[in-house]
Every structure is written in structure tokens, then in C-alpha cells.
């Protein structure tokens, strides 16, 4: 009798494990009507044949990342809108926001993952659906937040391939130079034209694609990490910034809060940079209009132009970027929300004394600066 009971229990456990294993492999794609509203808020100047900086502030949600094709269609719709407005040419440099590539870790999950109300709940569905990959990611994780590291690391190879195929394909489709926002990957580099990763620390990286879809140079890594990613993203520290040769001029990329630091602009001053792209993000509802909380790193730079609480978050982004020596700059923010985490920020462009900014409200935003 005891043997029969043990055999029955073993069979039940085997059936449960088999059912669970099959469940983890299923990835049904639900129906989703994407919000394609887009506003052309600012067109500064007029075409003079020297090209333009075109910022795209998207409005994105978890379901936009259910598949790479779904995300591609939405971003291509934004670019098609710009092309129809006469803002796309061979000397156009398109700038996308910080972390638009990082959210590729959400691709290919179960419907319950996208329907969750809290990010914590979504991460529980992610862990339940990818137990083996998560354990492997935890075994290789760095930093203070090992789970945040593991969620990114366990999909890093696929994310790098998807990022290159998606944004390289968009650059080629529309014939533009594309600053593809940023993506967090373990020690990213370009080898024989392919974006690769290894088992090193996570870095926040931006890749620039040429009009033929090829990668220009090496990824630009973020020098100064800040809240909320500093617990698992490694700062690059003191190193020269990359300078990219584009049809519109010499381009540099400062990721997010790198644009706050006087040291960043001092380096670019020595590198004869003409154009500056700043993929940015501000996370937190109401944060954009709240008092600026400072650099929020180990030490505030001695020559910082502002102190915490002196201005709003919006004013800090604008004033700390005034030191740029580039002839023209474009700062583009992420829009939308992912579960209970809301992105804020209003993209802006600067050329000399000229300053323009997108409007407020729902939907994606376009901002253009003729050079």
C-alpha cells in the first residue's frame, strides 16, 4: 500500500512539473490596439541644406514590447509621420530616449505579465515563466540589486540582437542617422559589426546607426549613473566620449544625467563636437515639476552650477545642459508608463540662443531643429 501511495504521489509530482514546464514555454500574443497619437510640437528654423536633429518622444507601454514587430510598427509610424511632414532627409539625425532599448527585456512574455498592475507583480510572472534563465542570471549577477541585474542579464544576448535588428532596420528604412536611445547590457561592444555582450557588469549604452543600418563605431557608455539604476548599472567613469561622423557633422552622445556634469562638456569642448544628442528619462509621477533633488551620486561636482532644491527638475535639465559647446543639441525624454512607473519629461532642443520644447499632454511628440 505504501509503495502504491508513493508511486501515486510521484506521478502527481511528475505531472505537475510537466504541466509547469509546458506552461513556461507558451507565449500567446494577445490583441492590442496601440495608441498612435503623435503631435508635431516644434519645428525650429527652416531647411538650409545642412540637415536637422529630429527628436521622437514616444509614448510606450508594456504591451508595446510584447513583440519586437509590434514595437517596430509603432516607431515606424512616428518616423513615417515625420517623413510626411518633410522632416526626413539624408542629413537627418534622429534621437530616441534613454532606456527605449532596455525595455526589450519585456519581449515575449505571457499575457499576465503585460496585464499586471504593479511592476512587482510583473516581475513575479517573469520569474515564474523563466525559472532556469533567472537562476542562471542570478549566478552571474553583479551590483547591489541582484534581481534587477538578473532580469536584464538573462535576456541580454537576445536583447542585443533585437536592439540592433530593430533600430538598425529603422535607420536603413528611413535613410537616417539614428541615435537609438539606450539599452542596459553586460559589457556591450561591437565586434565585426555586431552588438555583443559578455559576462561583465551592466552598462547603460547608446548605439548610433548609419543610414545603411550599420553600427557607427562603438557603443557610448554612460559615465555617471544615477538613481534609480545605480544599484545595478556600472558607471564608465573617466574616459573619452565617442565622436561619430555623420552627414550633418560630428556628433556626441551624453546619456541622461551625463549631460548634467561639467566634466562631460569639458571633454566635448576638446573634441570639436558640433552636434549633441541626449537620450534622457525622468521616472516618477509629478517629478518633472518637483524640486530638483541634485546629482544623487557619491559626490556633487565642485563646479556644479546648481544645488538641490534651487530649481525644478525641468529647470535643472535645461540649465545644466547650457554648458554644451555643440552648435546644436537635442534632449529627448521617454514617455508613457510601465505598470505603476510613470515617465515624465518634455523634450527640448537648443542652438545658440534658440530654444524650443515640446508641449504637454498625451501622445507621442516630435521636435525638429533645422541646422
Residues in contact with 195: Cβ distance below 8 Å, sequence separation at least 6, in sequence order:
160, 161, 163, 164, 185, 188, 189, 207, 215, 219
**Inter-CA distances, 244 with 7, 80, 148, 205, 270, Å:** 66, 25, 31, 15, 15
β pairing state of 52-57 and 92-95 = parallel
What pLDDT does residue 136 have? 87
Domains and CATH numbers, the chain: 38-370 (3.60.110.10)
Q: Which residue has the cell 556628433?
A: 251
Distance, CA of 259 to chain centre: 16
What pLDDT does residue 35 have? 62
**Do 213 and 228 meet the contact criterion of CB atoms below 8 Å apart?**
no
List strands edge to edge, sheet with 59-60.
59-60, 335-338, 341-344, 282-283
Question: Tens digit of pLDDT for each residue in 308-359?
Answer: 888 999 999 999 888 777 889 999 999 999 999 999 999 999 998 889 999 8
Map residue 157 onto helix, strand or coil.
helix
Other beta carbons less than 10 A from residue 250's beta carbon: 17
Q: Cα separation of 38 and 371, whole Å?
A: 23
Map residue 148 onto helix, strand or coil.
helix
What pLDDT does residue 158 have? 97
Map residue 285 onto helix, strand or coil.
coil
Q: Cα separation of 55 and 109, whole Å?
A: 30
Q: Which residue has the cell 517596430?
A: 72
Distance, CA of 268 to chain centre: 22
**Inter-CA distances, 56 with 91, 144, 157, 357, Å:** 16, 33, 26, 12
Question: Tens digit of pLDDT for each residue in 224-233?
Answer: 987 778 889 9
β pairing state of 275-280 and 249-253 = parallel
What parts of the chain have a pLDDT lower than 50? Answer: 8-12, 14-24, 27, 31
112, exposed or middle or buried, with CB in 10 Å at 0-12, 13-18, 19+?
Answer: middle
% of the chain at pLDDT higher than 90? 65
Residues in contact with 148: Cβ distance below 8 Å, sequence separation at least 6, in sequence order:
231, 232
Q: Cα separation of 300 and 297, whole Å?
A: 7
Residues in contact with 14: Cβ distance below 8 Å, sequence separation at least 6, in sequence order:
none
Map residue 71 onto helix, strand or coil.
helix
Other beta carbons less than 10 A from residue 188's beta carbon: 25
Closest residue by Cα to residue 230 from 209, 202, 261: 202
Q: Cα separation of 293 and 283, whole Å?
A: 13
Q: Cα separation of 58 and 167, whole Å?
A: 14
What pLDDT does residue 31 have? 46
Amino acid at each position: 500500500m505504501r509503495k502504491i501511495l508513493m508511486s501515486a504521489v510521484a506521478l502527481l509530482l511528475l505531472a505537475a512539473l510537466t504541466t509547469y514546464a509546458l506552461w513556461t514555454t507558451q507565449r500567446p500574443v494577445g490583441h492590442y490596439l496601440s495608441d498612435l497619437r503623435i503631435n508635431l510640437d516644434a519645428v525650429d528654423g527652416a531647411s538650409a541644406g545642412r540637415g536637422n536633429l529630429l527628436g521622437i518622444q514616444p509614448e510606450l507601454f508594456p504591451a508595446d514590447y510584447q513583440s519586437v514587430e509590434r514595437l517596430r510598427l509603432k516607431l515606424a509610424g512616428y518616423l513615417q509621420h515625420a517623413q510626411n511632414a518633410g522632416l526626413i532627409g539624408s542629413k537627418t539625425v534622429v534621437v530616441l530616449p534613454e532606456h527605449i532599448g532596455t525595455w526589450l527585456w519585456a519581449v515575449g512574455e505571457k499575457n499576465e505579465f503585460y496585464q499586471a498592475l504593479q511592476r512587482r507583480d510583473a516581475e513575479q510572472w517573469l520569474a515564474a515563466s523563466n525559472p532556469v534563465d533567472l537562476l542562471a542570471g542570478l549566478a552571474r549577477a553583479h551590483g547591489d540589486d541582484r534581481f534587477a541585474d538578473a532580469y536584464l542579464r538573462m535576456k541580454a544576448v537576445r536583447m542585443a540582437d533585437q536592439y540592433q535588428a530593430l533600430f538598425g532596420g529603422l535607420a536603413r528604412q528611413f535613410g537616417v542617422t539614428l541615435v537609438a536611445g539606450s539599452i542596459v547590457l553586460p559589457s556591450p561592444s561591437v565586434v565585426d559589426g555586431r552588438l555583443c555582450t559578455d559576462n561583465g557588469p551592466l552598462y547603460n549604452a547608446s548605439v548610433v546607426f548609419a543610414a545603411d543600418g550599420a553600427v557607427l563605431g562603438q557603443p557610448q557608455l554612460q559615465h555617471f549613473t544615477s538613481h534609480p539604476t545605480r544599484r545595478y548599472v556600472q558607471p564608465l567613469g573617466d574616459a573619452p566620449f565617442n565622436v561619430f561622423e555623420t552627414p550633418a557633422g560630428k556628433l556626441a552622445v551624453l546619456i541622461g544625467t551625463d549631460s548634467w556634469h561639467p566634466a562631460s562638456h569639458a571633454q566635448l569642448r576638446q573634441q570639436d563636437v558640433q552636434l549633441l544628442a541626449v537620450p534622457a528619462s525622468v521616472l516618477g509621477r509629478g517629478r518633472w515639476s518637483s524640486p530638483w533633488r541634485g546629482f544623487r551620486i557619491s559626490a556633487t561636482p565642485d563646479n556644479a552650477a546648481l544645488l538641490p532644491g534651487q530649481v525644478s527638475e525641468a529647470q535643472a535639465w535645461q540649465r545644466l545642459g547650457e554648458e554644451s559647446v555643440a552648435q546644436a543639441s537635442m534632449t529627448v525624454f521617454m514617455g508613457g508608463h510601465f505598470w505603476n512607473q510613470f515617465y515624465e519629461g518634455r523634450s527640448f532642443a537648443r542652438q545658440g540662443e534658440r530654444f524650443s520644447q515640446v508641449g504637454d499632454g498625451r501622445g507621442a511628440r516630435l521636435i525638429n531643429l533645422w541646422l
